[in-house]
Homo-oligomer: A and B are copies of this chain.
Amino acid sequence: MSILAVGSIAFDSIATPSGRVENILGGSATYFSLAASYFTQVRVVAVVGEDFTAEHENVLKKRGVETYGIEHAKGKTFRWGGQYLENLNEAKTDFTELNVFEKFHPRIPAEYNNSKFLFLGNIHPSLQAAVRREMSGVRLTGGDTMNFWIQGAHNELLQTLKLVNVLLINDGEAKMLAGETNLPRAAQKVLALGPQALVIKHGEYGATVFFREGAFGIGHHPFRAPALPIEEVKDPTGAGDSFAGGFMGYIASQEQLTREVFKRALFYGGVMGSFAVERFGTERLQSLTREEIEARFQVFRELTHLE
């Protein structure tokens, strides 16, 4: 079933130990949509400037992503520059030019109204909530957020969390949001704020999904999936968004929303994240095959499963 993704489209300038690129297509909605497109129909809502060409849009269209919801505004597209030095887990931002993204107010085209799944990328919590309220018919809503909103728009975020079924954040964000340094305790506190499931991303150590009691079936335990130990990470940009795309895309492709589906989704998230970092930008995500994805899923299984 189709998934609507709201987020950013950006041009990124990135330096890593493997090289340097300038003004390549990026942004959370781009990575998310490309990753999810291998599992289900994806519809994107975002804003771009006059520098966003048909060629850029074709990157999404070639993967079957619906782009009616990309608003073309006067001015330049969101630009981000950053570098990964010693530590590939953390970017040092060189510049952020919000440009047209600064005034972004998501508009949902009529063609998207029947979407059954929704992913709220990392934008202002009030905008996330507005989109969610407009899409009242969705079956499941996933959402992302970040430290900037946890601190700067706390009350708005608390309102949004009541409308989100699955929240995807990293360790630091979960601890900050909960005001709690112990991770499983932080997870319980975040679940009490609204979501039925919480995915905490651990960077190179994978991710854990925690469930609220009784949500998506029974069970007493969280579930942990690894990340792939990768010898050459070319460019970590977009790994988290690609993870979210694989995770939500797989869920949207399933009839039943059981815990087992969420567990497999966590693996597919790791799979798509691992592909994303193998090349600069979205290059690797543009030309995968479902066979390559399934083969890597098996690698993740071998990495974690006893006989």
Contact = CB atoms under 8 A, between A and B. Distances in A.
A233 B307 contact: no
Nearest to A183: B229
B226 A260 contact: no
Nearest to A225: B304
Interface stretch (A45-53, A96-104, A154-162, A202-210): A202-210
Contacts of A307: 260
A303 B204 contact: no
Interface in A143-183: 181-183
A306 B231 contact: no
A260 B303 contact: no
Given A223-B304, A224-B226, A305-B304, A183 B204 contact: yes
A299 interface: yes
A222 B204 CA distance: 14
Contacts of A260: 306-307
A264 to B, nearest CB: 6
A176 to B, nearest CB: 13
Interface in A252-307: 260, 263-264, 267, 299, 301-307
A135 B88 CA distance: 43
Nearest to A307: B260
A55 interface: no
A111 interface: no
Interface in A84-113: 86-88
Contacts of A88: 181-182
B183 A299 contact: no
A230 interface: yes
A264 B306 CA distance: 7
A157 B226 CA distance: 31
A88 B180 CA distance: 12
Contact of A181 (B87, B182, B302): B87
A184 interface: yes
A185 interface: yes
Contact of A303 (B222, B233, B267, B302): B222
Contacts of A184: 229-231
A182 B219 CA distance: 36
Contacts of A219: 302
Nearest to A219: B302
A206 B227 CA distance: 12
6 contacts: A87-B181, A205-B205, A221-B299, A224-B229, A304-B305, A305-B305
Give the 9 A-B CB pairs with smallest separation, nearest first: A205-B205, A184-B229, A224-B226, A184-B231, A304-B304, A221-B302, A185-B231, A260-B307, A224-B303
